[in-house]
Amino acid sequence: MADPIPPVPAPGESGSERPGADEPPKKGRRKRPFWQELPILIGIALVLTILIQQFVAKVFLIPSASMETTLHGCDGCFGDRVVVDRVTYDFTDPAPGDVIVFRGPQPWTANEIAPQESGNFFTKTLRGLGSLVGFAPPDERDFVKRVIAVGGQTVQCCDPQGRVLVDGKPLDEPYVHWLDQPPTARQTFAPVTVPKGSLWVMGDNRENSCDSRCQGGGGVNGTVPVDDVIGKARVIVLPPSRWGGVSDHDPQAAPAALGAPAWQQGIPLGAGALLAFPTLAAGRGLRRKLSKQD
């Protein structure tokens, strides 16, 4: 039997030059072990956390009882952790009723003793990481209060019912927490016209809050520049039992119209039901007349 004739290579191509003829099989890229990827993932997570908290939202710890019962805080206890929106005030100014976090202006911090920082690198690192997620007080001296009046408005206290007045009108403040029955003599303060670009702020726990009424000696010195505002408190995220939004009720808004008693609220429904029958009968009579004419 004759030997088989080998295939003839294409012009310009030798048998050894055929694609993949002598190439070793390709091996898949070797995957990194998880223990090598873990530090990279942790690093990326930390960078994203820092960026988000610096420019979008940050978790703050409530260290005192000045905002009870809206926000819970006390010395040595697990106070509320709140998410503070850092974007809103890039487009609008704080409004009455907003609960804000702000850097203490110079009159507020002038007489404070700076906290003693540990020189231990490990301790400082842990504190910094803890402040990022709201498990440790931040390095800066920040405050959380509610906006009561804005630039150009005049605020004073109180009317005979113990209510704060803005431009002579009493405020509607359902969030106020009293340890005693209002009004009390120490809550009163003379009229103050808030400078443009500043805010008059007060704690919801009126008898346990040093705010615009007393910081810097009160008056204009107690106001907070809008530029010192960090953001608006939006949501309580910890502890789980306190999950929920932070109220931003506008105390200067006119009270909603009072609802009528239940039996009066049913009048429109009853009237509609009674009128439905004669309207339906009239419609049928009209259709009969039109059909006869046709």
Angle at 163 between CA 161 and CA 168, to 5 degrees: 110
16: annotated active-site residue: no
Distances (CA, A) of 294 to 280, 288, 289, 290, 291: 22, 10, 9, 6, 5
Q: Using CA atoms of 168, 169, 170, 175 in order, give the dihedral in degrees to the nearest 10.
A: -120
198: annotated active-site residue: no
Q: In this structure, what are the phi and psi dihedrals at residue 129, rounded to the nearest 5 degrees? A: -65, -40
Give me the catalytic one of 131, 145, 209, 232: 145
Distance CA 220, CA 212 (A): 8
Distance CA 121, CA 130 (A): 14
Question: For residue 99, what are its two tokens?
Answer: 């609960």
Q: In this structure, what are the phi and psi dihedrals at residue 173, rounded to the nearest 5 degrees? A: -125, 80
Distance CA 224, CA 105 (A): 6
Contacts of 34 (CB under 8 A, 6+ apart): none
Distance CA 136, CA 126 (A): 9
Give me the catalytic one of 64, 66, 198, 212: 66
Annotated catalytic residues are 66, 145
